[in-house]
Structures are given as structure tokens and as C-alpha cells.
Structure 1
Amino acid sequence: MSTREEDHYGNWAGAYALHALTPDERERYEEYLRRSEDARAEAAELGDTAALLAVDTAEPSAALRANLLDAIAVTPQLGADDAEPAPAGPAQTHAREDRVADDDAVDREELARVTALASAPEVAAPSAAGAVITPAAGSKAARRWSRPMALVAAAAAVVVIGAGIAGGTGLLTPPSEQQQAFAALEGADDLQRVETTATDGTEVTVLWSEDLASAAVESDGMPELDDDLVYQLWMIRDGGAIPAGLMDADEGFAVMDGELHDGDVIGITVEPAGGSESPTTDPILVQAT
């Protein structure tokens, strides 16, 4: 099996599990599965998870399937058992150092830009939600928005302080428990981050840390739901789905309730307001950790 095959088919597991492939694509992917033991294991795990969360399987629309596969084709994803990267050669090392230097410069420029907002006559506090960059935005923008949450938190603190001074209040709004938990997760030494796509085409980032036994979901494009519906998060293990909290589309992120176990699969469904004890709709996203 070639590296080119892995690059082409390696991110089709989610679409395969959610029946979002055409018959021809499904046939080609299953031929790939026969040649890759790792791919078979991942497809089986996500297939079992989708079955646990699924109710009546609905045939995806052509537009939904196209959005899903287009996003998968250009969005880098990490497998559950990624190998350690091969040692870099001199050229790769210099290129990586240049990218790090570029990232540091972007961070300094961005922090200075946000800090400058504090001196404006009117200052709006920034959203705590993390952003997921669309593929067309480019790798530099993706790196900028995937910087550690600590930078965003620091810039937000400067803006809020400036707003308080400008308004004569001198007040600082403390971060919420969710924001603190998300910042702690972003700062974890063993942080894993996977950019993936929900069945409606929305780009979603799943983050987790085994050291912290914590996971979160982040997206700035989740569609608004009717008042009687909510996004519900699930940790799937041992043949069952465990409720792990709700996600507000306006917030843009949610740290999951409960402790993450090794091998858990993350799922999202749309449920009645208040959430459910077990899934009542098909999953819009499943992601192995």
C-alpha cells in the first residue's frame, strides 16, 4: 500500500461510516480496506460507533455528500494511532524553523493588534469561541487560529480591561469555567487535535488530552437550531453512548462532561431541548480519539 493511497483514502472512514459515499466510491474504499489493516480497524470502530448512535439511516443529499467529501479532501486529519514522524533532514529542519519564526511573528502582530483595540473609544469584548478555518483560507490563517488558547485569553483580558477603563468601571470579567477548562486543554502537553467535517458540511475540531482525561469540540460554523433542539455530545465506549454535555452553537466550543477514557469515540447528535439519556437521532459527527 502506497503513501499516495493513504493520503487519498485515509480520511474517508467517517464518510464511509455515515454512508456518505457513492456506490463507486464505496467500492473503491472497500478495495483499499482489503489492503490496509489499520484502515479496516478505524472503519470498523467508526462503523460500530455510528451504529450505536444511529436511528433510521437517511440517504444523504447530493449537496451534503459533496460538501462532506470536498471538505475531507482538503482538511488534514489525524488517525487514532498516528506514527511518530520520521526524523527531519536538514532542509526540512530549516523549513520548520522558518515556519516557527513566521508563527511567532504572526502571534506578536496579532497580540499587538488586539491590544491596540483597548485604546479605542468603544471596545467590544471578543468571543471566547475558538475558530475553525475553512480550507480555502490557507495554512497561514489556519496556524494563526490554531495557536494556543493562552494567547487569545491574554488578548481578551487586555481588551476587557481597556473597555472597563474607557467606560470608567475598571471591571474585569473573569473567564467562565468552560473557558478555563478549554484553555487548560489547549495547554496540555499531549494535546491531540483533529479537524473533521460534520454530515451537514460544518467544519469541526475535536481536541483531547489523555493526561487531563478531557475532550472538547470546537466550531464557529454550527447552524443555529430551533429552540426545542440542542447539540448533544457523547463519549462512546464499551458498546454504549454516555451523555457528555450540550453545545451552544453561539459559544462555538464545548468542553465535554466526564472523564475521557483511552479509546473513547466522540459523537454529536441533535436532540430535544435539555438533551437525552441516549441518542434519538443519527449522529452528525463521530471521531475516534
Structure 2
Amino acid sequence: MTAELHTLTGAYALGAVSGPEERAFRRHLAVCDACREEVRELTETAARLAMAVAEVPPPGMRERVMAALPEVRQLPPHAPAPRAVRRRWRISHLALAACVAVAAVATGVAIDARHRADVAVRAEQRAAELSAVTAAPDATFHTGALTGGGTATVVSSPRLARSAVLFHGLPALPDSHVYELWYRRDGAMVPAGLLPPGRPAGAALLDGTPTGADAVGVTAEPPGGSSTPTGPPLVVLPL
């Protein structure tokens, strides 16, 4: 049971542990320094990302976006989630939505209103996908430290066939190198996207599905990424 409790740090930090499992993990935290420190770091990451939504938008941005909304294709309606699931989403949704908000601000303000509305819709869809993965009933969380610094948590849902990575404390890479994600299938590393450059903390969906993969790896690659790893993985986390 103790070995299983070690794997709950990411889920606990995102508010996705409840009932007897939560009580058991709280007791475990009282005697496990490593898990306590890991939960503290992941919780701080979520809080910092949530605070990022306080960025002040450019003057007139709200009016331009609202004016363009009638021309943007509507998202299909969805049924409201049960109260228990919404409660589990709260922390992870704030953190992931904040990550998307920071990216939107970084795109600059010299784009027209319709483009802004399109970006907002896509950002909302991306945040919803990230939240769905972290809140999925079958989601698993695996956390590990990267060589050179920082931690990463892989969240995977076989039912949704999606995976995401939450990262914290990643040092800047030299020579404009980037952090690249990989699925490991039959011993081979398959590209699964890049982490947002220049950010020490955040979240990202992996490209493709985890079907057939047994692990997720992170490497440091030249600008733009690579088709095969150019060096040893900085971390390999099981799925």
C-alpha cells in the first residue's frame, strides 16, 4: 500500500484524491518527507499558474473579442459535470487555464478581433482537454525528477486516449534547445511534442495517444525538436 501511495502526489496536488484514499495519503504525508516536498512543489506550481490569469488585457480587447464572437463557430453544448467531478477539476482547471492565458498574452496585441476570438476559442478547448485528462476517473499520475533539475508529472487516461505533462522548476536550456516529449513504444521513442520554450512551469498535452506506449520521456533537443532523441532522456516516467 505504501508503494502505491507514493504515486498519488500529482493527483493529491490537483485535488483529485478523495475519501479513504485521501485520508490514507494524508497519514502517509506525515511520515514521508519526499512526498511532502513533492506535493508542496506541485501545489505551488498550480497556485502560480492560477495567479497568471490576473494579467491585465490590452485596452479595448474585451470589446473587440465580444464584437467578433457572433462570427465564431459555436462549440457543441455539453452536459454539466457532477458536483464531485467539478470540485476535482477546480485546481487543475485554474492552473491549466492560466497556462493557456499566459500563452495567449505572449502572442501580442497586433492581431484583429476575429483572430483574437478564434485564439480564445482554441485556448478554451485546449484547457478543457487538459482538465478532462487530469479529472478522468481512470487517470494515473507518475512524477519524477529530471536530470539537471525540475520535476515532471505525467497524467494519462486510457479511456480518453490522451496524456498530459505538468512540469515545474525546469532550468533554461543553452543554445535555444527545447524540451521534447516522447512516447516509448516497444523500446523506441516516438515524438510527442515540445514543452513551451522559456517556461520553468506549466502543462502541455502530448501529441498522439498513449495507446501501446509504456512510458513517457523528456529530452533536451536542438531548436524545433528532433525526430529521434539526440541524447539520453532527462526522465522516463511509466504510464
* TM-score bin, normalised by smaller chain: 0.5 to 0.7
* Greater relative CO (CA pairs within 8 A, separation 6+): 1
Residue 125 to residue 286, structure 1, CA distance change in 2 (3 Å): farther
- SS of 1:77 mapped into structure 2: helix
**Residue 226 of structure 1 corresponds to which residue in structure 2?**
174
**Contact (CA 8 Å) 1:198, 1:204: kept in 2 or not?**
yes
The answer as to 2:165 corresponding to 1:191 is no
**Residue 185 of structure 2 corresponds to which residue in structure 1?**
237
Alpha-carbon shift at residue 154 of structure 1 (Å): 8.0
**Residue 205 of structure 2 corresponds to which residue in structure 1?**
255
Q: 1:200 aligns with which of 126, 148, 152?
A: 148
**Contact (CA 8 Å) 2:89, 2:135: kept in 1 or not?**
no
The answer as to 2:130 corresponding to 1:182 is yes
* TM-score normalised over the length of structure 1: 0.44
Residue 183 to residue 77, structure 1, CA distance change in 2 (3 Å): same
Q: 2-side partners of 1:233 and 1:220: how far apart?
A: 15
Q: 1:276 aligns with which of 203, 217, 226?
A: 226
Q: 2-side partners of 1:153 and 1:276: how far apart?
A: 26
Alpha-carbon shift at residue 185 of structure 1 (Å): 1.1
Residue 125 to residue 262, structure 1, CA distance change in 2 (3 Å): farther
**Residue 76 of structure 1 corresponds to which residue in structure 2?**
6
AA matched with 1:287:
L
AA matched with 1:226:
P
Structure 1 gaps, min length 5: 12-74, 79-86, 97-110, 127-144, 158-168
* TM-score normalised over the length of structure 2: 0.52
Q: 1:214 aligns with which of 143, 149, 162?
A: 162
Residue by residue over 1:35-62, the C-alpha shift from the partner in whole angstroms, topping out at 9 and shown as x without a partner, is: xxxxxxxxxxxxxxxxxxxxxxxxxxxx
- SS of 2:224 mapped into structure 1: coil
Q: 1:124 aligns with which of 17, 40, 55?
A: 55
- SS of 1:259 mapped into structure 2: coil
**Residue 265 of structure 1 corresponds to which residue in structure 2?**
215
Structure 2 gaps, min length 5: 9-18, 28-46, 58-87, 101-112
Q: 1-side partners of 2:145 and 2:189: how far apart?
A: 20
Alpha-carbon shift at residue 125 of structure 1 (Å): 5.9
The answer as to 2:92 corresponding to 1:149 is yes
- SS of 1:206 mapped into structure 2: strand
Alpha-carbon shift at residue 242 of structure 1 (Å): 0.5
Correspondence list, 1:95-114, <5 A: none
Alpha-carbon shift at residue 153 of structure 1 (Å): 6.6
**Contact (CA 8 Å) 1:76, 1:195: kept in 2 or not?**
no
**Contact (CA 8 Å) 2:142, 2:154: kept in 1 or not?**
yes
- SS of 1:280 mapped into structure 2: coil
- Larger C-alpha radius of gyration, 1 or 2? 1
Query: How many residues of Structure 1 are paired with residues of Structure 2 in the alignment?
Result: 158
Q: 1-side partners of 2:165 and 2:238: how far apart?
A: 13
